[in-house]
Structure 1
C-alpha cells in the first residue's frame, strides 16, 4: 500500500571522496601542541600589578580585568564628585568670610553651614583616597595569590603522603616495637 510512495534520495553533488593533496591538508603547529604549561611566578604577577589589572593579564585571567577597571573607575568618579564639591564649598566659604558674593549668595546659607558642607566633602574625599589605595592593594594581592594558586597541585592523588606501619625487633626475648612512619614525597 505504501510501496508507491517510497522514493530514493538523489545523491549529494557536493560530497566527493578522494585523496586530499598534501598542500591542502591542514598544518598543525607542533610548537603549540607540545608546549610546556606556563609557570606563573607570583613575584612577576606582583610587579605586573603596578599597572592596574596587569597582574590579572599576567595570570591570563582576562575576565577579571573589567572588574578591576570598574572598581577603579567607580572610586575615581566618586572622588571627582567629592573633589569638585569640596572646591565649590571651599570657595564659597572663603568668599562668605571675605563678605563677597558667591554662588550660594541668594540662598540663605551662613558661613557655618558652608563650613560644614566643605568639611563633609573633604572628609568624603579623604575616605575615597583610602578606598582608591584599598582597590589598588586588593587587585595586587589578588594577582599574587592567583599566581601562587595556579601552580598548586589540585590532583586527587594523595599518594605523596604515605603511612607505613613497621615492626622493629627490640631484642631476643622482647616483643617487637610497632612504629608508624608518615612519609611525604615531593
Structure 2
C-alpha cells in the first residue's frame, strides 16, 4: 500500500511531498524521501564530508578528510621537489652555479628526479580527484541504502545439506520470502 501526503510549511509556503510506504504484513510506515540521495551528493560535492554528515555517518568524515589531506600533502611535496629539480637543471643549463644538495648531481639524474616527482605529482592529483569522486558516490549510495526496507519477511539462512547425488554434505545459502 502506498500513501501520499502533502505538508505545507507555513513559514516559507513550500509544499513537501512525502511518500509513506506501509508494509502490509507488519503495518510499519516509513518515510521515503526521493531527494535525499541527490541532497547528500550535492552536499558532498560542495564540501567533502558534508554528505556523510547529512547521512549521519559521522565516522566517515575523518576518512574523507584524511584521504583528501594526504593526497593534497603529497601533491604539494612532489610539486615542490619537481620545481627544485627543474630549477637546478635550468640553472645548470644556463651556466649558473647550483647550490645545496643538488650541486653534486649530474644532468641525467636531475632529469630523472624531475620526471619522478612530476609523475608522482600527477598521480597525487589523480588521487585527490578520486577521493573527491568517491566521497560523492559514497554519500549518494549511503542515502539510497538508508531508504532500503529491511523486514523479517526476507531472510537469508546458511545451512549444510546432503547432496542427492553422492550424499556428501555441502554448504548452502537459503533465501526465503514470506508474503
- Who wins on radius of gyration, i.e. which is larger? 1
Report the TM-score when normalising by structure 2. 0.64
Question: Which structure has the highest strand share of the two?
Answer: 2
Which residue, out of 42, 51, 57, partners 2:53?
57
Distance 1:119 1:140 in 2: 32
SS of alignment partner, residue 49 of structure 1: helix
Question: Which structure has the highest helix share of the two?
Answer: 2
Return the structure number with greater relative CO, CA threshold 8 A, min gap 6.
1
For 1:69-84, list aligned pairs within 5 A.
69-84=65-80
Distance 1:134 1:103 in 2: 38
Distance 1:142 1:47 in 2: 12
Displacement after TM superposition at 1:103 (Å): 2.5
2:86 match: 90
Change (3 A) 1:113 1:106: closer
Report the TM-score when normalising by structure 1. 0.62
Give RMSD over aligned pairs: 2.4
Change (3 A) 1:103 1:155: farther
1:113 match: 109
For structure 2, the 5+ residue unaligned runs are 1-29, 155-178
1:44 match: 39
Moved over 2 A (4+): 36-40, 103-108
For structure 1, the 5+ residue unaligned runs are 1-35, 159-184
Distance 1:94 1:106 in 2: 12
Number of matched residues? 126
